[in-house]
Amino acid sequence: MDFSGRVGGGRRGGGGGHRNVDEFGRERRDKPHQRKPYDRPARGGHRGGRGGAHAAMGHVGPVDEAQEIESRLSSLIVKVGDKNTPTLQNNLEALSVVLEKDCVKHELTVMRTFRQCVLELPWKVTVYSTLAGLLNAKNSETGEKVVTLMHAVLSASLNRGDWGSVKVLMRFFALLVSTNTIAASTLIAMLDTFLAPLAGGVKVSASNNCYVFIVLSTLLWAGRSLQEHASAELEQRLELVSKYVQAQVEINQGNALSTVFHDVPPKGSNGLAHLLDVVRAVAASSWKIDAIYAPYEMFTAEFAQAKQHALPALELPAQLAATAFYTPSEFLQLVPSPSDQLVRKYVMQDFIADTLTQLEGNRKDCGKCLMQIHGLCNEDVCSVMTTVQHPEDIDPESTLVFEYMMAEVLFSFLLQLPEGLYREMYYTSLAIELRKAEPVILANVFETMVENIVARVQFIDVECLNRLSNWLAVYISNFGFQWDWKKWENTASEAEDSPKHRFVQETLLKLIRLSYLDRVRAMLPDSYASLIPAKPPAHNFKFTVQAMDERTRDVSVAMGRCLKSKGTVEQALAILQEHYSQWADIDDERRQTLAREMLVEHVFLLGSKTFSHMLNAIEKFMPALQKFGDSAEAKLQIAQVTEDFWLRNPQFFAITIDKLINYRVIDPATVIAMLFDNGHVGSWSKFHYWEILHNTVKKVNMRVVQLQGRLEAANTAANAMADDDVPVAAENQTAESVEHVEATLAQMVQEQKDVVVSTTRHFARLLSSDSGAAGELDRAWLHGRFKEFLRTYRVQIMENAPVLESEVFTAEASSDVRQAFEDVRKLSV
């Protein structure tokens, strides 16, 4: 229904298109379910829906009309080539005519839409490179504008170290050779920029891994035209990168620190080597990629007369940390796939991965786009699941299955080593969106993925298993806690620290944290009873649980009363003093120890209700806690009391430790001493100890980074002041503050060093001693956590390599401990 002609607000005559307004002439609100991913009324970067973007809608006149034309133009550019249809060729031709005509008038809109299409819809690169080629063939000025803009965007991305965009843009430029918009030699020059660091000889490094990866990705798509126009140059570049990959493989082959699954002979885990295989396979079939429709092949005649544009030289980023480079890694094979479809599978998964990267800012639309990627596929390239099919009706070994490929990429990202590109939660919430869009199909697909991973659970890297557990708990909690628990029913009968038992149990504990015990228990078969706690998580207050003598009870009662009735720090301290000073039979130190325990237990009891209560209690009694935490031993005691108090609530244990560090009641060093206590031998499989370790180390690292930022700011301010003529007093003040920040930073860097060295020392000590772990399984967990620690903090480890080498990784250390250090060294080249 369209009332716009009858009732006020509608535009008279003209246009003819139905406008989406209601009877009052107001813009109709979007219904999300009718929206395509990038279909939205708003322009100019606003969020869809109401909002200011359509403020001009009420006006009638040229502004309105221009806006409508522009929004139609952009929508045409965005939507062209969504699907591989017979009309696509004509559509592209028609669109290029329209754009060529309107480009002058609506240049900004056209250009920025085109720019974003290339960046945000990477799987349609063949479409947009063709469109650019057609524009160029029709009007070389327009063509030049497009090409130079995209080149400037590429330069900026490169400068920022935005590798996702660099990769996507380089692929676009690769295809511009096919559309005769740039010369083969121009592309070769661009590739040579990335290869320049190899000029003096092949040297494996994080930055070169990244550069070679981009070159190979580009060659995959550029090969066909380069072979035609610059085959000698192509061969040379290919030879150079092959040499590099070989060197890289020699160094990193079988590196246990970057291997997700240890069950396969270590062919996997090397993204570069795999990509080189793919490129060679494409080369062997005369560089033809048949996975998706390549419209530029239809316009050879048009392109023949086009003008090629020269481009300025690219520049590599000057100062980027080794960790700021993209680490190539392979897509994990989690479902069988036809072995003769290497190239097609890579091409599809590469598009899926690029989309995941480029649309990270909006997981909802990213999910919708992902489901459309197969739209441009040529016939018979991959099958797409349907709801009426039974999952077992599709044989993934005889055909590529789109949903499996997509899920494999998602899990490869989740399990990526040495670390993922984004927070784990991205992959969780993206999976949730995907399943919401295709409830039946993707529920099955994700279940298959998880089951296939869990089937290899004894071979999986410990950190990856931890990530999968986190993923699964949030995923399940988003779908009514439904999961086919029956399939893992034998778990309870396995050893408690077997990988599977621990994985299932930790996942259940996470589920309980996200909801509550009864909710989770209700979902589980009876055989799971031993895997979950019998009672809801609670504190373990010492002075009610344990039998105590009369005088202890007296103190406890007095303290309880005082704290409950909002007593002050001084009052609490007075009570402790008053009671314990009368205990003549024990020495001062012992009295102090007892008083410390009494205080900490009662403060925690006061704060045991909620997280906020805990913060309040610690905040209020901070002076007393700090006073009692006056030595390393005293701090360790506080940490141990914390563990004991929260014995049956690991979440609160972790939170409380975290906050005690924040309030400087205990140090990071305290936490490390507490965690690696011999009392924990036999419990290395438990996830929460390592959650606490990482919270702590990350906090220290974060403080260093923050202080570095502050120092920079202070320096800038000081310099600015020195430049101006400011009174001497003010200048001194700034100088002091720079000094102050410098001193704090130095202290923090020392702390960081201590944390890294002492943690490594503890790991090595336990792993090199027979009593460091209770059996094979316990030791395997500890060793897995050691690897996790080394690779996560490899920068800090390498900074302290000399000390570690001379003091920790000595001949006395067990061989697998020393091997892990070798591995982290290779990983950090």
Partner 1 sequence: MAPATLFDDSLLTDTFTIVPRLDRPSTYKDHQYQGSTEQWSTDLARTTTLYVGNLSFYTTEEQLYEIFSKAGEIKRIIMGLSRTDKTPCGFCFVEYYTHENALECMKYVNGTKLDDRIVRTDLDPGFKEGRQFGRGRSGGQVRDEYRQEYDEGRGGWGHMRAKQEEDRRIQQEENYEAIASVPAGAELEINGRLGGQSGDM
42 binds partner 1 (CB under 8 A): yes
Tell me the sheet residues that pair with 261: 460
Residue 167 sits at the vertex; the CA angle it makes with 164 and 172, to the nearest 5 degrees, is 125
DSSP state of 392: G
What the block records as the tokens of 185 is: 């030699």
Identify which range of 22-30, 199-207, 264-272, 363-371 contacts partner 1 by CB under 8 A: 363-371
Alpha helices in 455-547 (DSSP H): 462-477, 499-514, 517-523, 542-545
Site for partner 1 in 516-545 (CB under 8 A): 516
> Which is closer to partner 1, CB of 182 or CB of 575?
182
712 binds partner 1 (CB under 8 A): no
> Which is closer to partner 1, CB of 291 or CB of 430?
430
| Dihedral pair phi/psi, residue 27, rounded to 5° | -60, 130
Q: Could you say which of 89, 91, 140, 155 contacts partner 1 (CB under 8 A)?
A: 155
Site for partner 1 in 744-803 (CB under 8 A): none
242 binds partner 1 (CB under 8 A): no
Site for partner 1 in 173-192 (CB under 8 A): none
> Which is closer to partner 1, CB of 133 or CB of 607?
607
CB atoms within 10 A of CB 573: 17
5 binds partner 1 (CB under 8 A): no
Site for partner 1 in 614-633 (CB under 8 A): 615
Fill in the per-residue mask, 71 to 110: x = in contact with partner 1 (CB under 8 A), - = not in contact: ---x---x----------------------------xx--
Site for partner 1 in 687-706 (CB under 8 A): 695, 699
Which residues touch 457 (CB under 8 Å, ≥6 apart)?
A: 465, 499, 500, 503
In angstroms, give the least distance from the CB of 668 to partner 1: 14
Number of residues near partner 1 (by CB under 8 A): 72
Identify which range of 424-432, 598-606, 629-637, 710-718 contacts partner 1 by CB under 8 A: 424-432
CB atoms within 10 A of CB 767: 19
What the block records as the tokens of 734 is: 């700034």
Identify which range of 9-17, 37-45, 376-384, 664-672 contacts partner 1 by CB under 8 A: 37-45
In angstroms, give the least distance from the CB of 364 to partner 1: 7
Site for partner 1 in 256-275 (CB under 8 A): none
Identify which range of 35-43, 276-284, 321-329, 620-628 contacts partner 1 by CB under 8 A: 35-43
C-beta separation of 151 from 118 below 8 A: no
Q: How far apart are CA 69 and CA 80, in angstroms?
A: 16
Q: Which amino acid is at 348?
A: M
In angstroms, give the least distance from the CB of 576 to partner 1: 29
Q: Could you say which of 19, 72, 115, 648 contacts partner 1 (CB under 8 A)?
A: 115
Site for partner 1 in 48-77 (CB under 8 A): 48-51, 74
C-beta separation of 674 from 639 below 8 A: yes
In angstroms, give the least distance from the CB of 309 to partner 1: 10
Q: Could you say which of 89, 193, 236, 362 contacts partner 1 (CB under 8 A)?
A: 362
By CB atoms closer than 10 A (0-12, 13-18, 19+), residue 90 is exposed
Identify which range of 41-49, 58-66, 86-94, 586-594 contacts partner 1 by CB under 8 A: 41-49
Q: Could you say which of 428, 444, 608, 637 contacts partner 1 (CB under 8 A)?
A: 428
In angstroms, give the least distance from the CB of 619 to partner 1: 10
* DSSP string for 374-391: GGGBPTTSEE---TTS-G
In angstroms, give the least distance from the CB of 771 to partner 1: 35
Q: How far apart are CA 615 and CA 587, in angstroms?
A: 33
Closest by CA to 625, choosing from 653, 599, 650, is 599
By CB atoms closer than 10 A (0-12, 13-18, 19+), residue 300 is exposed
Q: How far apart are CA 166 and CA 155, in angstroms?
A: 8
117 binds partner 1 (CB under 8 A): yes
C-beta separation of 760 from 789 below 8 A: yes
Q: Is the dihedral of CA 257, 262, 266, 272 positive or negative?
A: negative
Identify which range of 246-254, 287-295, 361-369, 390-398 contacts partner 1 by CB under 8 A: 361-369
> Which is closer to partner 1, CB of 108 or CB of 811?
108
Identify which range of 236-244, 334-342, 473-481, 723-731 contacts partner 1 by CB under 8 A: 473-481
Residue 597 sits at the vertex; the CA angle it makes with 595 and 599, to the nearest 5 degrees, is 70
Q: Which amino acid is at 588?
A: D
DSSP state of 484: -
* DSSP string for 650-705: HHHHHHHHHHHHHTTSS-HHHHHHHHT-GGGTT-TT-HHHHHHHHHHHHHHHHHHH
160 binds partner 1 (CB under 8 A): no
Q: Could you say which of 19, 35, 46, 765 contacts partner 1 (CB under 8 A)?
A: 46
Q: Could you say which of 72, 112, 229, 688 contacts partner 1 (CB under 8 A)?
A: 112
Long-range contacts of 321-325 (CB under 8 A, 24+ apart): 321/795, 322/205, 322/206, 322/207, 322/795, 322/828, 323/206, 323/795, 324/161, 325/161, 325/163, 325/206, 325/207, 325/209, 325/210
Identify which range of 112-120, 128-136, 495-503, 526-534 contacts partner 1 by CB under 8 A: 112-120
CB atoms within 10 A of CB 45: 8
> Which is closer to partner 1, CB of 332 or CB of 359?
359
Site for partner 1 in 496-515 (CB under 8 A): 510, 513-515
145 binds partner 1 (CB under 8 A): yes
| Dihedral pair phi/psi, residue 30, rounded to 5° | -60, 140
Closest by CA to 434, choosing from 466, 459, 410, is 410
282 binds partner 1 (CB under 8 A): no
In angstroms, give the least distance from the CB of 702 to partner 1: 8
Q: Could you say which of 89, 116, 140, 527 contacts partner 1 (CB under 8 A)?
A: 116
366 binds partner 1 (CB under 8 A): yes
Q: Could you say which of 423, 551, 561, 664 contacts partner 1 (CB under 8 A)?
A: 423
Site for partner 1 in 552-611 (CB under 8 A): 610-611
Residue 310 sits at the vertex; the CA angle it makes with 304 and 311, to the nearest 5 degrees, is 135
Give the up-direction half-sphere exposure of residue 520: CA atoms within 13 A in the CB hemisphere.
Answer: 26
Give the up-direction half-sphere exposure of residue 828: CA atoms within 13 A in the CB hemisphere.
Answer: 19
140 binds partner 1 (CB under 8 A): no
113 binds partner 1 (CB under 8 A): yes
Site for partner 1 in 632-671 (CB under 8 A): 651-652, 655, 658
In angstroms, give the least distance from the CB of 520 to partner 1: 12
> Which is closer to partner 1, CB of 379 or CB of 518?
518
In angstroms, give the least distance from the CB of 103 to partner 1: 11
Long-range contacts of 719-723 (CB under 8 A, 24+ apart): none
Q: Which amino acid is at 80?
A: V
372 binds partner 1 (CB under 8 A): no
480 binds partner 1 (CB under 8 A): yes
In angstroms, give the least distance from the CB of 72 to partner 1: 15
Site for partner 1 in 306-345 (CB under 8 A): 311-312
